[in-house]
Amino acid sequence: MNIDEILEEVLDDIKPTEEEQRELKEMSSKIINKINEIIKQNPKYSVIIDVVQVGSTARNTHLRNNYDIDIFLVFDKNTEREVLEEIGLEVGKKVVEELGGEYWTEYAEHPYTSAVIDKYSLDIVPCYRIDWGEKIISAVDRTPLHNEFVKRKLEKNERLCDEVRLFKKFLKSIGIYGSDLKTKGFSGYLCELLVIHYGGFIEVLKNAKDWKIGEKIILEDIYKIYNLDKNYKFRKFDAPLIVYDPVDINRNVAAALSKDNFCKFVFYASLFLKNPSKGFFYDYYKHVDQKLEDREHGALLTLKIKRDKDIVDDIIYPQMEKLQRSINKIIEENEFVILRCDVHADEEFCYLSWEFLVYELPNVRLREGPSIFKKERVERFIRKYDKYFIRDCKLYAYTTRKYKNVYELFNDIIHGKLRGKISYPKYVNPENGVICKMYVKDTIKVAE
Amino acid sequence: MNIDEILEEVLDDIKPTEEEQRELKEMSSKIINKINEIIKQNPKYSVIIDVVQVGSTARNTHLRNNYDIDIFLVFDKNTEREVLEEIGLEVGKKVVEELGGEYWTEYAEHPYTSAVIDKYSLDIVPCYRIDWGEKIISAVDRTPLHNEFVKRKLEKNERLCDEVRLFKKFLKSIGIYGSDLKTKGFSGYLCELLVIHYGGFIEVLKNAKDWKIGEKIILEDIYKIYNLDKNYKFRKFDAPLIVYDPVDINRNVAAALSKDNFCKFVFYASLFLKNPSKGFFYDYYKHVDQKLEDREHGALLTLKIKRDKDIVDDIIYPQMEKLQRSINKIIEENEFVILRCDVHADEEFCYLSWEFLVYELPNVRLREGPSIFKKERVERFIRKYDKYFIRDCKLYAYTTRKYKNVYELFNDIIHGKLRGKISYPKYVNPENGVICKMYVKDTIKVAE
């Protein structure tokens, strides 16, 4: 199968059916009409000057079986924040009630209404109306402009919409779709911009395979919209990929993308172009993981920490990673070699897991000291250690190891004995942890 | 005890007794007189134009109980090498026979006579007469001039001779006296030059404590002897210590000194000056070794290789070290961490020993690959390894470890299976080795 055939077949799988599309449009119209009705009924709602559907279903770049409808209530800029929040929730609540759905309040920078109506997930979010190039007032104010920009470029270009779908599916399959702090991948908007910029999915890949860390992408439209000449000095960002936002050229749309995920994309773009196959679009990363797991292991250990259910992934994941980095320093100071480490959370627990090259080390430890020519450091070293000797112009000393195995070290961690050496994040406290799933060679030692 | 008191007490121990000195002089004179007699008896011996006693006993810098007498037969420059060797051995043999000793032939660059007469060890070595600044013909031709230089500086300065003795004793005690290829330390001549240069033992230490790698020492006399101005550019040497030979300024007297021994000297010079004690002069290094050994150990392994008895230490030691370095590369390639390694030989065997941080590693091995941006290397890597992944912009792969423990690796070495990867020195062949003395943690596993 050549690339074109592959893409056609994948598209057949992922493109929403006509029926799906029709139903989605009907439902969206119904919701928007209902909102407009409600606004008209009460003069105090006149601060809402526009109602726009945003998100991929509004822009026709969504994948099959996506029933997310995002509606933004655009408020007059002079509305007070409290009024915006109050009216935003009021209107949201009313429309869901009148359409017979279930609703609840979600909290981001400001509260908004989330709902389920039949098979549809609905978000009704209030924001301020800003103009192109204007400063935002609340965090989500750019969204209607993002929507406007993408719609303008993709409307009446069904093929380009399909290219965005293929790109999203590809990224999902290799595990890097989503700009949340757990995934650290590509947002939907970023996918759309890249397809618009390069003119297609394969064109994105062909360019991406040669990207380097710090790659800069400036859409042609940006020069037109802001009337910039070609020598304009754009703001600098320290990021693996910099895609200037047409809605705000001081913002990097790819800010959430991690270095490793950037590298993954560059690598798999190249790999796919060399050996194209449908497999890249269907849970490719799961197959890779499976292949990686199908091997022998070093010593495994997992720290399982009770999770506060109110804390969302976007907060808990960075904190788990921070704690793991902090623990890794202690592990390395104690000379245990980490083969692999990972974080993961389910609803109840945080799991920080490690795989070690060795589980146990001898009682003796060799400490590297200063060069024998550094007089002061030499004095401190020989005052501290007794069994020292000279090798390669440095002092070394034999001491007794503090932690003879990994379990002893983690036991001290969960009992708070390394409190001063580990930075505890707010919501992931290692002292709430238990050591579990400990495999050492062929023996399975379940510690707790 | 202050430094002066310490030095006096040590000197009391090490200075040859008057009786010893008298007897030594008597024996030396007897030998030299006998040689001169023999030379006079046969006109063909007239190519020997001088007979000189050299070495520390000749220069009054020897330690107590040293009964080595070195006699050089100085030949006319025009003598053919064969004649020099033949007559050298003939005269040597005759004098020992006439004095009733036992003799044998030793082989260095050319053969010479070694003998025992009563408690005295005697060497009778032929050499060519060269003048100051003249090129040598055989390797030992500089010795009479070394002797002349040192005698001129030390004669009638008994105190300076004693300072040399203290210096030698100190170096012996810390294990770095001797310029042979096993010790790689300070030769007697080097000790004498340093004491001459700095004016005393303590003065040597006071300077040495601030030495840096590449330290250059040029004796005042050199400028006088060769009529050099102060800006003269001396030959450059890549060595930790460079002491220009007054007899040949293109020669480094400290060439045999290893970097580690240089560092040891700098370190112990400083340590002694800060905390002077008699202990530094009496097998100090044995006490240090004892202290170092009195600890817990990692996994120990010794490779015991049959020694060819005809091969001297000066050949066998560098070869053992070369083989160990070569094996260490393989060990490190296979991820076993060496805590300590050493070579040692007795009359029958060479012993290459190791101490490892861990004896065994898991079956899985993590291989670090190229940066994902190095296209060609990436292609080779993923062609070679299947279970690869991306971390920190690099490819890594899980593979199966070839050697799961140290014993397996050494077993392949002694069975010649790593022949292509190890450079075999001429006289130390690992395939003649057996693995022995293997201690893993508390268990002692004697392999053979």
Domain ranges of chain A: 17-129, 157-284, 299-361+402-445, 364-400
Residue of A292, A372, A387 lying closest to B263 (CB–CB): A372
Give the number of other Cβ atoms within 10 Å of residue B82's Cβ.
9
> Is A157-284 in the same CATH topology as A17-129?
no
Size of interface A-B (CB pairs under 8 A): 105
Residues of chain B with pLDDT below 50 are: 444, 446-448
Closest CA to A96 of A123, A127, A72: A123
Q: Cα separation of B386 and B170, whole Å?
A: 60
Q: What residues of chain B lie within 8 A of the CB of A295, using their CB? A: 364, 387, 398, 400
Q: What is the dotted CATH code of the domain comprising A157-284?
A: 1.10.1410.30
pLDDT of residue A448: 43
pLDDT of residue B446: 47
Asked if B364 contacts A232 with a C-beta cutoff of 8 angstroms, the reply is: no
- Does the A299-361+402-445 domain belong in CATH 3.30.70.590? yes
Q: Is the Cβ pair A292, B389 closer than 8 Å?
A: yes
Question: What's the fold here for domain B364-400?
Answer: Alpha-Beta Plaits (3.30.70)
In the stretch 288-317 of chain B, residues with CB closer than 8 A to chain A read 288, 291-292, 294-299
Q: Enter the tokens of residue A127.
A: 């924001």
Q: Is the Cβ pair B263, A364 closer than 8 Å?
A: no
Q: What residues of chain B lie within 8 A of the CB of A363, using their CB? A: 296
Q: Cα separation of A43 and A400, whole Å?
A: 79
* Type of residue found at B151: K
Question: pLDDT tens, A130-142?
Answer: 999 899 999 999 9
Question: Is position A81 annotated in a ligand binding site?
Answer: no
B393 touches chain A (CB under 8 A): yes
Q: Report the residue count for chain B.
A: 448
Q: Enter the tokens of residue B362.
A: 């898991």
pLDDT of residue B176: 98
Q: Is the Cβ pair B358, A363 closer than 8 Å?
A: no
Question: pLDDT tens, B285-327?
Answer: 999 999 999 999 999 999 999 998 889 999 999 999 999 999 9
**Superfamily designation of domain B17-129:** Beta Polymerase, domain 2 (3.30.460.10)
A383 touches chain B (CB under 8 A): no
Region of residue A322 (left: phi > 0; alpha: psi -120 to 50; beta: else): alpha
Alpha-carbon gap: B379 to the closest alpha carbon of chain A (Å): 9
Q: Cα separation of B347 and B306, whole Å?
A: 9
How far, CA to CA in Å, does A16 sit from each of A64, A198, B9?
A: 4, 24, 100
Closest CA to A196 of A223, A235, A157: A157
According to DSSP, residue B46 is labeled: G
- Interface predicted TM-score (ipTM): 0.91
The torsion defined by the Cα of A207, A208, A210 and A216, in degrees rounded to 10, comes to 90
| Helices and strands counted in chain B (H then E) | 14, 16
Residues of chain A with pLDDT below 70 are: 437, 441-448
